[in-house]
Amino acid sequence: MASTLNRPDRPSRADLAAAADKVLPDVIAPGLDVLLCGINPGLWSAATGHHFARPGNRFWPALHLGGFTPRQLRPDEQHLLPGYGLGITNLAARATARADELTREELTTGGEILRDKVERFAPKWLAVLGVTAFRTAFGAARVQVGPQAPHFAGARLWILPNPSGLNAHFTLDKLTTEFARLHDVVTSG
């Protein structure tokens, strides 16, 4: 993805405005241990070309502290994830400033696309980062953070909290605990 950024980690206001509605490619491969599914890319991520790139997003620290990576990766190192058995996709492809800008239809359609991806790439686990978005996309009003039944398109399903800094209810410690719970189950077989 070509960028006009002066500094790849600090997009300008013009870069962020130009990122609206852009699509961020998945980091995905067949047979992953865990396919992590965000809600949708933020403008910072779309401008930089890297998932969970906005400063203050707790995804990368929680992923490391939860045991999935031996060190905290930077967003521009997302290409290393498949080597750890991990990948990233999103429920909705369109970049927005806030996830609440998405329509119910976008999330529902994104859920259908996600189901197809999971069937095609066959990860062992699908971890959706955002309980409210999952509820909307799949009409699953009672789903909570944690393991879910039944399987999703052949993968075991786990719901994680949204790591956005806007989700202040879940501190980094609480996020890390949830990521670690998933990691423990994934590594125990």
Tell me the pLDDT tens digit for each residue of 29-88: 999 999 999 999 999 999 999 999 998 899 999 999 999 999 999 999 999 999 999 999
pLDDT at residue 5 is higher than 60: no
Please say whether the dihedral angle defined by the alpha carbons of residues 168, 115, 72 and 176, taken in this order, is positive or negative: positive
No. of helices (H) and no. of strands (E), the chain = 6, 5
Q: What pLDDT shows up at residue 51? A: 97
pLDDT at residue 7 is higher than 50: no
Nearest alpha-carbon partner for 2 in 15, 21, 17? 15
Concerning whether 40 is annotated as a catalytic residue, the answer is yes
User: Which of these is catalytic: 51, 57, 90, 183?
Assistant: 51
Vertex 70 angle, CA 67 and 71, to 5°? 105
Cα within 13 Å of Cα(118), Cβ side: 25
pLDDT at residue 4 is higher than 70: no
Q: Per-residue pLDDT tens for 164-180?
A: 877 778 899 999 999 99
Q: What pLDDT shows up at residue 126? A: 98
Distance of CA 33 to the CA centre of its chain: 15
Report residue 2's pLDDT band, with 50, 70 and 90 as the boundaries. Answer: very low
Lowest model confidence (mean pLDDT) among 135-139, 144-148, 168-172, 179-183 = 168-172
Order of strands, edge to edge, in the sheet holding 146-152?
86-90, 34-38, 125-129, 155-160, 146-152
Concerning whether 51 is annotated as a catalytic residue, the answer is yes
Two structure tokens written together for 60:
């990368």
pTM above threshold 0.85: yes
Two structure tokens written together for 73:
């990766």
Angle formed by the axes of helices 131-138 and 104-121, nearest 10°: 90
% of the chain surpassing 90 pLDDT: 85
Query: Using a CB cutoff of 8 Å and minimum separation of 24, what contacts does 142-151 make?
Result: 145/178, 146/178, 146/181, 147/185
Under the phi-then-psi rule, with left for phi > 0, alpha for psi from -120 to 50, and beta for the rest, what region is 23?
Answer: beta
pLDDT at residue 97 is higher than 50: yes
